[in-house]
Amino acid sequence: MMTIQNGLNGQLRVASDKSITHRAIILGAMAVGKTHIMQPLLSDDIRQTIHGVQQLGVDVVITEHNDIIIDSLGIADIQKRQFDEPIVFNFGNSGTTTRLMIGLLAGLGIPAVITGDASLSRRPMNRIVDLLTGYGADITTTDGHLPVTIRGGIMTDVINETLKVPSAQIKTSLLLAGLSAGVPVIVFDDFQTRNHTENMLPSFGVTVDCQGGMIFVSGDQRLTATTVSVPADMSSAAFWLVGATLQPGSDIVLQDVNVNETRSGIVKVLRRMGASITLLNERVQNGEPIADVRVVSVSQLIGTTVQGEEVTTMIDELPILTLALARADGDSRVMDAGELRVKESDRISTVSETLVAYGADVKPTPDGFLITGVSRLQAPAESLSDHGDHRIAMLQSIAQLLTSNDAPIADQAAIAVSYPDFKRDMEVLMHA
């Protein structure tokens, strides 16, 4: 049981970046030598990726300091291993692991069957499988979902694709397929999705040519082991950005946050609404811009519209941003966010359900929300389901703080997917 009286205060480093940790593990497995991943996220999803590359015969160790050491002989060594039977992977709840590993396995041509939990099994997999089969891979889904069966790898001289949906996972999956198969990859990304893979590849010795929305990687490049330092995750920081903005008396500093423009849309939108957010000590690390982020509470936010390309820069942050919009003065709208319907839950439905229970005026639309701001929220009359979705669970926890609700914090099992220390960090900021 926790309540908040005097705002959120102090400084901390939120959970490390999930997207970057996933990519560092897979690229480390593909590289020759020992890759050292410093300050990785060690969440449930990340452990699925670790286990996945271990099943390919790659040595992965978590040190006593919670770093990750990957010792690999590279792509060629993995390819020449004798896998007498298809490898059976169970990736739990991790959609990132699944989609990236499908690309890697298709490039390597390793037979596999991929499964996951009930939530993951509802998420679409044909968006990447259909592309890879177009390049000769023998892959089938189960009505567009898991289980996915890989019988043979890609058979093509080049991968040349224009993204049809705004998904950095699809883009990365294609890049991994090409690199592991030794064929060039050209991807046109007009959506400007997350570019962590393109930023990280040069650290592994891979030349990447990025021009506007075009990414080109030649297929004859060997990855070399390196050291990757993982910044803090904007998706995790977002909960405190909104919490500190809305809770009177708050003044916090979040350290080492990834402020990559493809990920930091929530900062731009909150500032537009009147939030006090300052970037301090800006620097570049492994190709990623990072900063310490100071947030000071404000008396009132102004409603706004979020749509178009802006949505892709904050798709995972939209649930908690919607809480801010619900407390802002005037009408707001979120559009072009249909991707929310195929996350760990249908987040358009679950966010609306959650916030209405807290007294907000939020109406779901096919691709987002219609919101009329209210001056205050109230504790729900009954306990709410988090639908097994980590971001819904954290949204409910922040809403509880803002209503000084004495209900227990949301289910930690769901939150552990991306932010295992969420409860601890909440206590730090409440009691600083």
Q: What would the DSSP string read from start to end of 165-227?
A: S--HHHHHHHHHHHHHHT--EEEE-TT----HHHHHGGGGT---EEETTEEEE-SS---B--E
* Separation of alpha carbons 144 and 369, rounded Å: 27
Compute CA 103 distance to the chain's CA centroid, rounded to the nearest angstrom.
18
The amino acid at 345 = S
Cβ-contact 41, 17 below 8 angstroms: yes
Report the DSSP beta bridge partners of residue 59: 71
Residues 6+ positions from 51 with CB-CB distance below 8 Å: none
* Separation of alpha carbons 93 and 324, rounded Å: 28
List 233, 256, 316, 425, catalytic entry: 316
Indicate left, alpha or beta for 235 from its phi (over 0: left) and psi (-120 to 50: alpha): alpha
Residue with tokens 């639908």: 387
* Separation of alpha carbons 340 and 346, rounded Å: 6
* Separation of alpha carbons 217 and 176, rounded Å: 10
Give strand ranges (E) for 286-399.
288-296, 305-306, 331-334, 361-365, 368-372
CB atoms within 10 A of CB 264: 23
Burial string for 100-126 (b: 16+ CB within 10 Å, else e) reads bbbbbbbbbbbbbbbbbeebbeebebe
Cβ-contact 96, 45 below 8 angstroms: yes
Indicate left, alpha or beta for 58 from its phi (over 0: left) and psi (-120 to 50: alpha): beta
Cβ-contact 266, 317 below 8 angstroms: yes
Catalytic annotation present for 316: yes
Q: Return the active site residues.
A: 316
